[in-house]
A = this chain, B = another copy of it.
Amino acid sequence: MIDADTIKRIPRFADLTPQARDMLCRHASVRTYEQGMPIFIEGDPCEFLYVVLEGEVRIAKLLESGREVIMDFIWPGESFGEVALMDGDGFPANATAKQPTRVILLPRDIYLRMLKECPEVARSIIRDLLLRMRALSGRVEVLSEAGVRSRIAHLLLAYARDFGVEGDGGRMLPIRLSRNEIAAMVGARVETVIRIMSQWHKDDILHTVERGFLISDASGLEAIVADED
C-alpha cells in the first residue's frame, strides 16, 4: 500500500485513470535498498515490476568468462524487470542498488492485470520498452566502435546528448561513473580506461569532476570517434 501522491509524481503513471491508480496504490509496496545491496540476482524468479523512486540501480550480467557487463543504469522514474515479467523466466541479469535506493514493487499478477485492463498502462509500458531498446541499441553501437578510445568517447557523447548541460568550461555531464564501470560498459580493462582518460585530462578534452564529467572539448571527442576507423 502506497499513497497516491507517490504515484502521481512518476511521469510513467501520471496519466493513469483514477481506478487504475487506485489499484496500483493498493497492491504496490515500497522498499529501500542500501548502497551496494542486491535487488535481485540473475535467475531469480521474477515476482515484481520495479519502479525506481530515488537512487540508482545498476543492471549487470556476469558472463561465463567471469567478465561483468553493465547492461544499463536505471534512474528515478524508470522501471526495470519487464522482460522477465512477461515471459515468466527468471531474471536475465543482476540488479544492485548503486546508491541508497527506494523502489516501488508491483506484483506480477497486478501488473499483468493492469496491462490487460488499462490501455494507457500498456501504452506506457511500450514507451518504456522503446526507451530501453534505444539504450540497448546505443550500447551495441558503443561496443561496436573500433578502439577503446572511440568506445569511451561514444559512450560519453551519447550520455552528453541526453543528459549534458552547458556549464562554464564546457558541457557538464552529471553522471558519476567509476573507471571500473566505464570499463564494464565498453568492454575493456580498467587500466586501459584510465590511461585513455588521463591523456584526455592532460589534453584538456575531458575532466573528472565532483559529480560527473566536464567535457571541455566535445569536438575533440567527436573527432576521436570519427577518426579511429
- A-side residues, CB < 8 A to B, are 61, 63-67, 69, 71, 82-83, 86-87, 92-93, 115-116, 119, 122-123, 125-127, 129-130, 132-134, 136-137, 139-141, 143-146, 150, 187, 222, 225-229
Evaluate whether A126 and B122 lie within 8 angstroms (CB atoms) in the complex, with A143-B143, A144-B63, A145-B63 already known.
Answer: yes
9 residue pairs A–B, Cβ–Cβ below 8 Å: A63-B141, A64-B226, A65-B226, A66-B229, A83-B134, A119-B119, A122-B123, A125-B126, A133-B133
Evaluate whether A141 and B226 lie within 8 angstroms (CB atoms) in the complex, with A83-B133, A87-B130 already known.
Answer: no
Residues of chain B with a CB closer than 8 A to A150's CB: 65
Copies of this chain, complex-wide, total 2
Residues of chain B with a CB closer than 8 A to A130's CB: 82-83, 86-87, 129
Residues of chain B with a CB closer than 8 A to A125's CB: 126
Evaluate whether A143 and B83 lie within 8 angstroms (CB atoms) in the complex, with A66-B229, A92-B134, A150-B65 already known.
Answer: no
